[in-house]
Structure 1
Amino acid sequence: MQAKNTSVPFIAAATTALLIQLAFPIAAHAAAPVAAVPAARTVGTIEAVHQFQTGPMPTGVTVSAKGRIFVNFPRWGDDVPFTVGELRNGAVVAYPSQAANTFDAKKPADTLSSVQSVVVDALDRLWILDPAAPGFQTRIAGAAKLVAVDLATNKVVKTIIIPADVALDTTYLNDVRFDLRAGKAGVAYITDSSVSGPGAIIVVDIDSGRSWRKLSGHPSTSPDPAFVPFVEGQRLAQRAPGKAPQPFAVAADGIALSADGATLYYSPLSSRHLYAVPTKLLLDAGANETALAAAVRDLGEKGASDGLEADDQGRLYAGDYEHNSIHQRQADGQWTTLASDPRMLWPDTLSVGPDGYLYFIANQLHRQAGFHDGKDLRQKPYMLFRTRINAGPVMLK
């Protein structure tokens, strides 16, 4: 009689026991409390100044010497009843008037089309930068301009039209800084952040109204061809329904003036590099472009920024829209993180107030429909924040 083979049942039983033993520690690990998992830390302290619970997406902010706060809303697709407003008693109202904010194609110099930036200068005038390119489309003829409003009277006191040979059909006027010591009445420096043509620094003589382009198409004012941004875990690219993603390519954007006015800092939106150039070479409209290009300095990486600013202590500030942060560059060139917080969804436009705070908009720009196959992912409120820096604005007069 042949003996029975009992090895197979034995192996099966042992295997079952082993699997049961292995299952228990796996289950125990899976049930570990989420609170025990490390997470990224916030840096610094940010304070909410205003919540935009209704209305369009803001981009710019500035604070006057008396603490008045102004914001702007470009016409990029949202319903924009007024493109410049003042924050009063917890609400935003049209400024300087609703009539000025109602664009009239028959009066392009006198009405506002689609304002990108607002900046208060050293004489406490509010300057309004109107690229006249709603939706980043072709510039409206005769409407690209700088408008100065006297905050004592709330009246427009100067309008400077940027001509077609300076504000090209592809130009998008983005941000502006002022040095009122240069020339008879000062100069303005403006970035051209074109999405389809050459970037540039535009210089405007405030007295004569004359303007000229510098560093037009230079690598420092152009999108970095190797730049691949990631925001909220997704590559940032133009995404239209049914079409392949297109690179996010925007030219010179953020701009800041050093405390002594000798250096202009700037950065393309589609880049992580900070550039600097002596202002004396920008002020001469006929200066040699080769010498100017040779004087440009690449100061290295600072994060991807939609906004730069400087303070009166010689420090520079740069947003970092990939990491919900703002960084501070010390006078010796070293960078530190001033603030980092998940609520800082696309820090856009930085402005030093007279109260020792840095103000900035968080507007979720990257969640617009154009980046998500036509689906708008923005969630209100948009935010106006501030963080303390214990310094004042650069005011050159």
Structure 2
Amino acid sequence: MKRLFAAVSIIAVLAGPASAQGLETFLEFPKDTPPGNLAIGPDGRMFMSVHEFYGPELRVVEVMADGSTKPYPTEAWARAPQGDGDGLRGVLGLRADREGILWMLDGQGEGQTGRVVGWDTKAEKLHAIYYIGQPVARSTSFLNDLAIDREHGAIYISDTGDGANSAIIVIDMDTGQARRLLEGSAFTVPEDTPMIIDGREITLGGSPAKIGINPITIDPTNTWVYFAPMTASAMYRVRTTDLLDASLSDDALAAKVERYGDKVISDGSTVDAEGNVYITAMTDNAIGVTKPDGTYEVLFQSDEDLPWPDGFSMGVDGFVYATVNELHRSPVLNGGVDASKGTYRIVRFPALGTAVSGR
């Protein structure tokens, strides 16, 4: 039986411009729980990364039906590891597949190897760990988000890198082999566009933030992977069969990438069964959609209520869920100063097409 959230009493329609009407605040979080990305399993359980840009103690939590959270997968795994013990160093991307495996992208850092940790949410035990070491990862790698393809036994990861070397990493779930694809291509590196939010150009490490591939998602039939640089005006897609064809050179693979449609500077993405690719358009304080005809449309916009919408997950109830976390006010993107106001929430809206969770 599917577990649906019963938090009806705390759902409210966001106030603000007419274009924000119909967007619901599903849950709100305290200042010590800034949301990162979401994953909703096939049974309706909701999991969330706690955004590492704010330096939280917990890495991942389960969001309970009453709006409370608890460390997940276990008390030990939800925190930084002690020595060689259990634990997660820093999770941004996470996805729950149709088998109930929660996949957590535990990013690369100084003295550590990036990895994908899979946790069986039904049996509540470790399922698998895939390590992503050099040379597939680079010394400047920033493992950002992932898409899961159980039909073909593959994981697709966006490595934002340093911008010049942005790439897609593909992991074979049967063998653990990883390959680095489309590195430095026009489809993965950022465009030369300033990231301006609330009248301020966002900087990262003291330089203007122009960020390569970040949003990545897969359609419900596991046919297409949709992806784009964060700083880009286009959404792209490529067939999973082409990403998995090791005989293709990078040039041959690049020739198979399609420009799917327009978008704006964006963070997270997800796609429904009709090919509507939703994006969190953080520079516009908005949630938008790239439609199958290639056009881009703003679905919801509110300067007050949508300060940096971030990650998505499809629900079992036909809704699209998204996090809001004010990331431009975090220390990492605000010169070392935490200027966030605590607008940390999950919002939701009905999908335009058929929503399929757990992928």
Tell me the TM-score range normalised by the shorter chain: 0.7 to 0.9
Higher-strand-fraction structure: 2
Q: Deviation digits for residues 322-341 of structure 1, max 9, x if unmatched?
A: 11111223333333322222
Q: Deviation digits for residues 293-341 of structure 1, max 9, x if unmatched?
A: 2222334431111011111232211121111111223333333322222
Residues 1:149 and 2:119 are matched in the alignment: yes
Q: Deviation digits for residues 38-87 of structure 1, max 9, x if unmatched?
A: x9533442212221113142211111122211111243352x22201001
User: Given the superposition, is the C-alpha separation of residues 285 and 188 from structure 1 closer, same or farther in structure 2, using an over 3 Å criterion?
Assistant: same
Partner residue, 1:167: 137
SS at match of 2:52: coil
Partner residue, 2:19: 42
User: Given the superposition, is the C-alpha separation of residues 105 and 169 from structure 1 closer, same or farther in structure 2, using an over 3 Å criterion?
Assistant: farther
Q: Which of structure 1's runs of 4+ aligned residues deviate more than 4 A?
A: none
Higher-helix-fraction structure: 1
C-alpha separation in 2, matches of 1:102 and 1:336: 39
C-alpha separation in 1, matches of 2:128 and 2:151: 18
C-alpha separation in 1, matches of 2:52 and 2:203: 21
Q: What letter is aligned with 1:51?
A: E
User: Given the superposition, is the C-alpha separation of residues 287 and 387 from structure 1 closer, same or farther in structure 2, using an over 3 Å criterion?
Assistant: same
Residues 1:392 and 2:355 are matched in the alignment: yes
Residues 1:132 and 2:135 are matched in the alignment: no
Q: What letter is aligned with 1:365?
A: L
Q: What letter is aligned with 2:346?
A: L
C-alpha separation in 2, matches of 1:215 and 1:365: 28
Partner residue, 1:4: none
Check conservation: 2:313, 2:321, Cα contact below 8 A. Answer: yes
Between Structure 1 and Structure 2, how many residues are aligned?
Answer: 341
C-alpha separation in 2, matches of 1:53 and 1:153: 30
User: Given the superposition, is the C-alpha separation of residues 65 and 268 from structure 1 closer, same or farther in structure 2, using an over 3 Å criterion?
Assistant: same
Q: What letter is aligned with 2:208?
A: P
C-alpha separation in 1, matches of 2:349 and 2:30: 21
SS at match of 2:32: coil
Check conservation: 2:202, 2:334, Cα contact below 8 A. Answer: no
Partner residue, 2:193: 227
User: Given the superposition, is the C-alpha separation of residues 372 and 289 from structure 1 closer, same or farther in structure 2, using an over 3 Å criterion?
Assistant: closer
Partner residue, 1:255: 216
C-alpha separation in 2, matches of 1:41 and 1:195: 39
Residues 1:121 and 2:91 are matched in the alignment: no
1:223 Cα shift?
A: 1.5
SS at match of 2:228: strand
User: Given the superposition, is the C-alpha separation of residues 216 and 122 from structure 1 closer, same or farther in structure 2, using an over 3 Å criterion?
Assistant: same
Q: What letter is aligned with 2:277?
A: L
C-alpha separation in 2, matches of 1:70 and 1:127: 10
SS at match of 2:283: coil
Residues 1:351 and 2:344 are matched in the alignment: no
Q: Compare 378-387 and 294-303 and name the one that shifted more.
A: 294-303
C-alpha separation in 2, matches of 1:285 and 1:52: 44
Residues 1:308 and 2:284 are matched in the alignment: no
SS at match of 1:281: helix
Partner residue, 1:203: 170
Gap runs ≥5 in structure 1: 1-38, 241-245
Residues 1:158 and 2:136 are matched in the alignment: no
C-alpha separation in 2, matches of 1:105 and 1:227: 41
Identity in percent? 27
Q: What letter is aligned with 1:96?
A: P
Q: CA RMSD in A?
A: 2.2
C-alpha separation in 2, matches of 1:335 and 1:289: 29
User: Given the superposition, is the C-alpha separation of residues 218 and 394 from structure 1 closer, same or farther in structure 2, using an over 3 Å criterion?
Assistant: farther
Partner residue, 1:368: 330
Check conservation: 1:70, 1:84, Cα contact below 8 A. Answer: yes
Q: What letter is aligned with 1:90?
A: G
C-alpha separation in 2, matches of 1:302 and 1:199: 19
TM-score scaled to structure 1, two decimals?
A: 0.80
Residues 1:324 and 2:324 are matched in the alignment: no
SS at match of 2:255: helix
SS at match of 1:168: coil
Q: Deviation digits for residues 265-307 of structure 1, max 9, x if unmatched?
A: 1111222321222222210234211111222233443111101
Partner residue, 2:297: 336
C-alpha separation in 2, matches of 1:205 and 1:293: 20
User: Given the superposition, is the C-alpha separation of residues 209 and 295 from structure 1 closer, same or farther in structure 2, using an over 3 Å criterion?
Assistant: same
Residues 1:57 and 2:20 are matched in the alignment: no
Partner residue, 1:106: 83
TM-score scaled to structure 2, two decimals?
A: 0.88
Gap runs ≥5 in structure 2: 1-15
Partner residue, 2:237: 276
C-alpha separation in 2, matches of 1:141 and 1:369: 23
User: Given the superposition, is the C-alpha separation of residues 106 and 374 from structure 1 closer, same or farther in structure 2, using an over 3 Å criterion?
Assistant: closer
Q: What letter is aligned with 2:220?
A: A
Q: What letter is aligned with 1:276?
A: R
Check conservation: 1:43, 1:337, Cα contact below 8 A. Answer: no
